[in-house]
Structure 1
Amino acid sequence: MVFFVLIGNTTYAVIGQPVPDVTNNPANTNPGTPATLSDPLNLPKDSGVQVLIGRVINAALGVVGSLALLMFVYGGLLWMTSGGNDEKVKQGREILIWATAGLALVFFSYVLVRFVIQGLTGQALPGATQQEASNDAAQRGFNYQTGQ
């Protein structure tokens, strides 16, 4: 089953992605033209390092969360399909415990990095802070004091 998932993902990654047409690009006709790199991350012009770090961390958290989910499913399946085999039950339980420990480590690392970045720059990493959530709720007409 894992084989088919890997083959499907590889096929999508190779075939399913659009390929840019570089043959009709006028910039490629003159070999003396210096190469330029447009902003691949689409960062705003006035953004600082914290925006870049925030986007990298958000991407990494997505990958780590997906891997943790995969490990939870694998450990749970191993445990449930052990058929009473104590060795497989122990192996499945250890996978679940270590996946939880890894997810907790990643979460606390994120909290530490956010704290350090906020301490050094005075600005938080991109994400919803309490003030941003309050401003958003106020724009929608919610009053925290009356609860309406």
Structure 2
Amino acid sequence: MKMIINPQPMKLLIITILLLVALPVSAQPAFDDTVDGYELDPGVLNPLPTDNPATLIGMIIRAILGVTGSLALLMFIYGGLKWMLSSGNTEELRKGKETLLWAVLGLAVIFSSYAVIRYVFGIFGQ
């Protein structure tokens, strides 16, 4: 038994793929080839906010520490709500207290890692 493939959807698929690939390339903005008298190649522009790798790594680490600090804040809120809404249930009260304790320990780890990172970058940054 032969399978008959309708060529119309295949043609439509190929044209769609070609258009999706070709349109972003053809829609590139015009580029000024000179900046302050220097020739520039548009293919090698730096999209990063800095040229220094140490600064870039520091920015990434700061962002990660910011996210973990936000997570610790959420754990504080969750633990506090669990404690306050325990309604005398000792098990829920214990879980709320443990959540707050682990959130405090997590913040201690976050702050100490930030201090270590600043110290290390201070040594290598000089």
Q: Do they superpose with TM above 0.5?
A: yes
Alpha-carbon contact 2:69-2:110 (below 8 Å) kept: no
Amino-acid identity (%): 45
Report the CA distance between 1:58 and its aligned residue: 1.6
5+ residue gaps, structure 1, are 1-20, 29-35, 123-148
Change over 3 Å in CA distance of 1:56–1:37 after alignment to 2: farther
Aligned-CA RMSD value:
2.4
Superposition pairs of residues 2-41 of structure 1, within 5 angstroms: 24-26=23-25, 39-40=46-47
SS in 2 for 1:25: helix
| Contact map agreement 2:75 2:103 (CA 8 A) in 1 | yes
Answering whether residue 41 of structure 2 is matched by residue 43 of structure 1, we say: no
Write the mapping of 1:57-68 to structure 2, written as runs, cut at 5 A: 57-68=61-72
1:62-101 aligned at under 5 Å gives the runs 62-101=66-105
- Name the structure with the higher helix share: 2
Offset at residue 121 of structure 1 (A): 2.5
Compared CA separation, residues 104 and 50, structure 1 to 2 (3 A): same
TM-score by length of 2: 0.63
Deviations 1:101-127 (A, max 9, x none): 1011111111101101111231xxxxx
How far 1:63 moved relative to its partner?
A: 0.9
Per-residue CA distance 1:50-80 (angstroms, 9 max, x = gap)? 2111110121022112111110111011101
Larger radius of gyration: 2
Distance change >3 Å, CA 69–CA 53, structure 1 → 2: same
- Give me the whole-angstrom Cα distance separating, in 1, the residues matched to 2:22 and 2:89: 60
Separation of aligned partners in 1, 2:77 and 2:21: 42
Q: How far apart, in 2, do the equivalents of 1:37 and 1:87 lie?
A: 60
Report the 3-state secondary structure (helix = DSSP H, G, I; strand = E; otherwise coil) of the residue aligned with 2:23.
Answer: coil
Q: Count residues in correspondence.
A: 92
Pick closer, same or farther for the CA change 1:80–1:38 going to 2, 3 Å: farther
CA distance in 2, matches of 1:113, 1:121: 11
Counterpart check, 1:109 vs 2:113: yes
Normalising by structure 1, what TM-score? 0.54
